[in-house]
Structure 1
Amino acid sequence: MGDTRLIHGRYRLLELIGRGGMGEVWRAHDESLGRRVAVKCLKPLGMQREETRSGVLRERFRREARVAAALQHRGVTVIHDFGEEDGVLYLVMELLEGRNLSQLLEGNKHHPLPVPEVLDIAEQVAAALAYCHEQGIVHRDLKPANIMRLADGTVKICDFGIARLGHDIGFTARLTGTGIAMGTPHYMSPEQIGGGPVDHRSDLYSLGCVLYEIATGAPPFDLDDAWAVLVGHRDTPPRPPGSHRPDLPEFLDRVVLDLLAKTPEERPADARDLARRLAAGHPAGHRPEPVLHTAAGQPVPRAPRLPSWTRGMTTGHKAAAASTSTLKATPPDPSAGLTGAWTTSEVRRDRPPAPERPTPPPELLGALTGRHNAGLGLARLGRWEDAGEVHRGVAAEREHLLGPDHPDTLASRFEIGFTLSRTGRAADALREFGRVADGRERTMGADHPETLAARQETAYVLGQLGRHFEAHQVYSAVLAARARTMGADHPDTLRCRHNLAFNLGRLGRLEDSYRMAHEVAEARARVLGPDHPDTLVTRYEVAYALGQLGNWTEALRTYREVAAARTRALGADHPDTLAARYEVGISLGRLGRSTEALELYRSLVDDRTRVHGPNHPETLRARHGLGVNLGRLGRWEEALAEARDVCAIRERVLGHDHPDTLVSRREVAVGLGWLGRWADALTVYRQVAEARERVLGADHPDALASRGDEAQCLEQLGRGREAVEIYRRVAALRRRA
């Protein structure tokens, strides 16, 4: 392709500027837009591969390139275009003028970089990683050669997402004879070396290796033998970087060692947390400035440092009457993104301007940011009540300092609504989300993504409250706005369509629910990939709709495909994988294949017990399915024993009147009835009916079904007159309901 000098009739190759394991990089000219670009030509797929396999990989390349091209952050190299020419895949990127960190170290004769420069690089890379990780993208091959420092001091991560492309296409991550993935050994995380699951914390480990090297002049395990390097990462604690360099600040020494923790759980929670720690490690306004270099390595003078929250902003037109003498230097803001003062894209002329508020101290805003993120961490651990308390406190202080409609105040309010919806307080959550949505609409506009996110949560909570028609109206309005402003295939648009499909099922519109879920699943497979978790969630919903429509054969096939894909993408023990296997068992039972279902549930009980413990609700749900299928096979003594055991554990763990406990208690009654012990069965059926009436109300469908069970049991005992009275009462309640 290089011989033609012109790619796609548009990109003219001018000069080879790099060659590596993934291909060649050329300086090029975009003849359509008249700009300089870099073109990376990736290695061919290889003629020995089957044509169908190559087609799959090409499609994966296009999908991953689209995802990488969607990244828009000052710290990430921009991808302009991608395609294929003469069998060679190529990417068109912004052309960067500067030097990567490897070149900086070489130019410095492998002496460590100045501490201010190390800190500045660390902060900028952490910000870029935080943004990309929040988009769900992991770099997988972070190293000094992939981090560029430009002449103006900007730091950019190169090849974000391209390392994953290389892995998918098959020309990176070569395997040694022992099966160890050979990427770049000096910067690989222990989980990469062991072939385990890799998430954003693997990038944090690699960043720790990079910071260690630029701070000390050598990587943490500076050995010639690749295997020894890998063993070092896996088994050997690194020497503190401060032992190589006494002038290294103690807090930076601690941060790097935390990044190099052997297990992901011991590292910082995420890159945002890392950025906060770096910002908090030096006194505001007293940090020395890093030295900048030209592309040739010469130091350049630096303009006064702007606050950290201005990073990524573009400068607008200067006001004609502005006086530079009125501008004052602003110290760096350790809150890393909270400004105190803020503007919107539109001024509401029908409302008087809000009173001016004094800018809060950056240290106070930073502390509130830390508390906000602590609340998010509690929520990730499932501690919803504790998270709600934290967010309520932060929201009150932010409202006092910043105002009720400040984006940060509304962000805290949003999280309050989220915790309320997850703790069964749907009505309170609805009020909170409505308040957030109204505030965001006033300050950001009706179609702003944050406004639409709050509206979408109101629809979700309306569904929790059983107000499915109102939820349908809100989902439909949000979907129209998302499609108009973001496009039909944007992940947020597809998420809204997924929720709308789910809600259609709750409205009884099963055919519409199935049709929309099927369309969303196909779109997500096209945009995100067939094995992406979001795609599989929607395919799971497709299977559920098929079951509701009575098409259990197709439901079984779809659930099995989802379970297999989740095993590949998430692992065999992931809760979502195990949930799909449970639904496979349900489908087998519905098809009368109880022997197969029984074997599946035995295996699932073992796996749930190993992963979650014997008393976990999901373990008990699997045991319940096992007992049901024992009954379907006529093994009623075993079924009754299983139901009694599960019921006793659920009562102890979940409570006497918990819905799952009552389901198990009813299964006990079913077993007693099949064994001819109708008097005992009647006692249990009545207990279930009374509990459901007490908890749900006498006219709830589950309570009415339990009274129907009681009446059938009375008929078996020859007490027909009592049974008729119950049937009449149930019929009257149904009519009233």
Structure 2
Amino acid sequence: MPQQQSIAGRYDLLEPLANGGMGDVWRGYDTVLDRPVAVKRIRPQAVADSPQLAEEFVKRFRREARITARIQHPGVPQVYDAVLDDSYERLFLVMELVDGMPLSAYIRPDRMLPVSWAVAVAAQVATVLSHAHEVPVVHRDLKPSNVLVARDGTVKVLDFGIAAILRTDVTKLTATGSPVGTYQYMAPEQVRGGRISPQTDLYALGCVLHELLGGRVLFSADSEYMVMYQHVNAAPTPLRVLRPEVPKALEDLVLHLLLKSPEARPADVQEVYERLRPFLPPPGESPAPGDTGPAGVPDPTGIFRDPYAPRARAGARRAAGTTIDPRTGPPAPVPVPVPAQLREEIDEAYAHSEALLEEERFAQAAEVLGEVVEPAARVLGAESKKVLALRKNRAAIQLLGGDYRAALPEFDALADAYARTDGPTGASARACRAQAARCRAELGQATDALIALRGLLEVVRTVDSDLSEEAVELRRDIGMLLLAQGQAAEADRILRPLHDDLCVVFGPGDEMSEEVAEALALIRLGLDGPDA
């Protein structure tokens, strides 16, 4: 790429800064806002390897860039723009330019980093993840080369959303049957091709912290396959075996982060931060000699000497625009004629929302519907069909846009409302409970999600065929969740007959047939060991 090339008529590319597996990073300049920027160009072959058609890739690229841009934290370089040229071959993310060095530059087996230095880095990464998981955004590719230490000691976490854009978290099979991905830091559920959740980032953080304190990667072997096999089956080396001065409580935390089951790991990143806190310098304390790393290296402990904390946990959220007491419920709804003006406002809201969805502006599309929920509820009643339909559409848009934390309580409330109005086994109540379960799965609550999905499947089997669209989707979701949890034999028991049914009814080339076939191929690899 020649120097001084311009993209989108406003960003000048001045000089290359770094090369990575996914693309090149350039120092650039925004000629409109008169500021320096970093420009990441995604490699064309990364796009060519995408399983989606080019148009679908463009949609995913823009969607993930928008979601990433919601993370407001000083430890995340802000995404300013997403630029794609007409050929879909040159893809760019324009971001905040950060002056610093990647964490990988400081890891050496012959020069151990101070414990306080490593803990300060991990704690700063934890504060970043606390904000990202609230969006919610899962990084999916946390590793030392994606963590940068700025000159003032601030830790920056790079490449949020890039793995999601390229779907590199999903282990695909090559022509030789070998899984591909960032294998040194892949959680067991990633190796299996299972569902990604915030606990996936916690595992990767455990890998990084183990490497910072131990001076070497968690697992190593002659092949990528064997490293991934170890992530699924092998016990990590306790840090105090490698380095006796590491505090026992810190070793315990790292081992907790590295547990194989996602739900066995710490509950959330805030818990991780609290357990790191005792090893951080207190406010106002001066660093001891050698406590901040080699001479000339940025000091990540400084921010804790003048500290800031991670974002507070979000409390239980009540669905916006509702006043329903879930214990008692509202009075039985009485049909009310829809005034002409309100009908017009609702129609306009749907039309506006659909137009925004065409542009994949999910947050705004949900907000447009939300603006008419409260006035419609006042006139028609909180559980009138039109009000429930508005809320259901809004929740579906939130789910589609990846805002699972907002969608989950709304789907729960809607399921209860539909159970009261249409019966607990009615189609609308079932659909909302299924969507709530999917939100829980996306948020890492796999056990609760499996209980809900299995219960729903039993209900569906009593009122419809095992090959109905609803039943097939539930069977697929249950099997995939089991696979992500390491229950390969149980997942095989669910997915194998499902694949047979899909091939008969829809054919082996159907999208879901291929998805289930790929999961069965992963099970056959035996990554969970001979006893799985």
Normalization by structure 2: what TM-score? Answer: 0.66
Q: Which residue number corresponds to residue 89 of structure 1?
A: 91
Structure 2 residue aligned with 1:225, among 217, 223, 226?
A: 223
Q: Which residue number corresponds to residue 450 of structure 2?
A: 574
TM-aligned CA deviation for residue 39 of structure 1: 0.7
TM-aligned CA deviation for residue 264 of structure 1: 2.2
Q: Which residue number corresponds to residue 101 of structure 1?
A: 103
SS at match of 2:41: strand
Whether the 8 Å CA contact 1:166–1:172 is kept in 2: the answer is no
How is 1:105-144 mapped onto 2 (pairs within 5 angstroms)?
A: 105=107, 111-144=111-144
Once residues 46 and 300 of structure 1 are traced to their aligned partners in structure 2, the CA distance between those partners, rounded to angstroms, is 36
SS at match of 1:238: coil
TM-aligned CA deviation for residue 250 of structure 1: 2.5
Q: Which residue number corresponds to residue 524 of structure 1?
A: 398
Distance 1:22 1:69, change over 3 A: same
SS at match of 1:18: strand
In the alignment, structure 2 segments of 5+ residues that lack a partner are 334-341, 343-348, 354-360, 483-532
Whether the 8 Å CA contact 1:498–1:520 is kept in 2: the answer is no
In terms of fraction of residues, the more helix-rich structure is 1
Q: Which residue number corresponds to residue 291 of structure 1?
A: 292
Q: Which residue number corresponds to residue 385 of structure 2?
A: 510
Structure 2 counterpart of 1:17, one-letter code: L
Structure 1 counterpart of 2:216, one-letter code: A
Q: Residue by residue, what CA displacement relative to the aligned partner does 1:221-253 show, whole Å, maximum 9, x if unpaired?
A: 133322222222222212211222222223222
Q: Which residue number corresponds to residue 250 of structure 1?
A: 248
Give yes or no for the alignment of 1:239 onto 2:237: yes
SS at match of 1:127: helix
Structure 2 counterpart of 1:534, one-letter code: A
Normalization by structure 1: what TM-score? Answer: 0.49
TM-aligned CA deviation for residue 298 of structure 1: 2.4
Q: Which residue number corresponds to residue 18 of structure 2?
A: 18
Q: Which residue number corresponds to residue 38 of structure 1?
A: 38
Whether the 8 Å CA contact 2:366–2:394 is kept in 1: the answer is no
Q: Which residue number corresponds to residue 152 of structure 1?
A: 152
Once residues 523 and 152 of structure 1 are traced to their aligned partners in structure 2, the CA distance between those partners, rounded to angstroms, is 41
Whether the 8 Å CA contact 2:23–2:40 is kept in 1: the answer is yes
Once residues 128 and 452 of structure 2 are traced to their aligned partners in structure 1, the CA distance between those partners, rounded to angstroms, is 30
Q: Residue by residue, what CA displacement relative to the aligned partner does 1:655-675 show, whole Å, maximum 9, x if unpaired?
A: xxxxxxxxxxxxxxxxxxxxx
Once residues 206 and 324 of structure 2 are traced to their aligned partners in structure 1, the CA distance between those partners, rounded to angstroms, is 40
Structure 1 residue aligned with 2:330, among 466, 480, 483?
A: 466
Name the count of aligned residue pairs. Answer: 438
SS at match of 1:175: coil
Q: Which residue number corresponds to residue 400 of structure 1?
A: none
Distance 1:461 1:165, change over 3 A: same
Q: Which residue number corresponds to residue 5 of structure 1?
A: 5
TM-aligned CA deviation for residue 121 of structure 1: 0.6
Superposition RMSD on alpha carbons, in Å? 5.2
TM-aligned CA deviation for residue 12 of structure 1: 0.6
SS at match of 1:237: coil
Distance 1:74 1:18, change over 3 A: same
Once residues 190 and 229 of structure 1 are traced to their aligned partners in structure 2, the CA distance between those partners, rounded to angstroms, is 11
Whether the 8 Å CA contact 1:63–1:528 is kept in 2: the answer is no
TM-aligned CA deviation for residue 567 of structure 1: 11
Distance 1:227 1:120, change over 3 A: same
TM-aligned CA deviation for residue 19 of structure 1: 2.1
Q: Which residue number corresponds to residue 66 of structure 1?
A: 66
Distance 1:508 1:83, change over 3 A: same
Distance 1:122 1:492, change over 3 A: farther
Q: Residue by residue, what CA displacement relative to the aligned partner does 1:275-303 show, whole Å, maximum 9, x if unpaired?
A: 1011134684668465378xxx8247999
In the alignment, structure 1 segments of 5+ residues that lack a partner are 312-335, 339-368, 374-410, 419-452, 470-475, 612-737
Once residues 49 and 162 of structure 2 are traced to their aligned partners in structure 1, the CA distance between those partners, rounded to angstroms, is 23
Structure 1 residue aligned with 2:363, among 472, 480, 489?
A: 489
Once residues 81 and 256 of structure 1 are traced to their aligned partners in structure 2, the CA distance between those partners, rounded to angstroms, is 36
How is 1:256-335 mapped onto 2 (pairs within 5 angstroms)?
A: 256-281=254-279, 284=282, 288=287, 290-291=291-292, 298-299=296-297, 310-311=307-308
Once residues 265 and 187 of structure 2 are traced to their aligned partners in structure 1, the CA distance between those partners, rounded to angstroms, is 11
Distance 1:501 1:141, change over 3 A: farther
Q: Which residue number corresponds to residue 630 of structure 1?
A: none
Whether the 8 Å CA contact 2:113–2:293 is kept in 1: the answer is no
Q: Which residue number corresponds to residue 183 of structure 1?
A: 181
Q: Percent identity?
A: 31
TM-aligned CA deviation for residue 93 of structure 1: 0.9
Whether the 8 Å CA contact 2:29–2:37 is kept in 1: the answer is yes
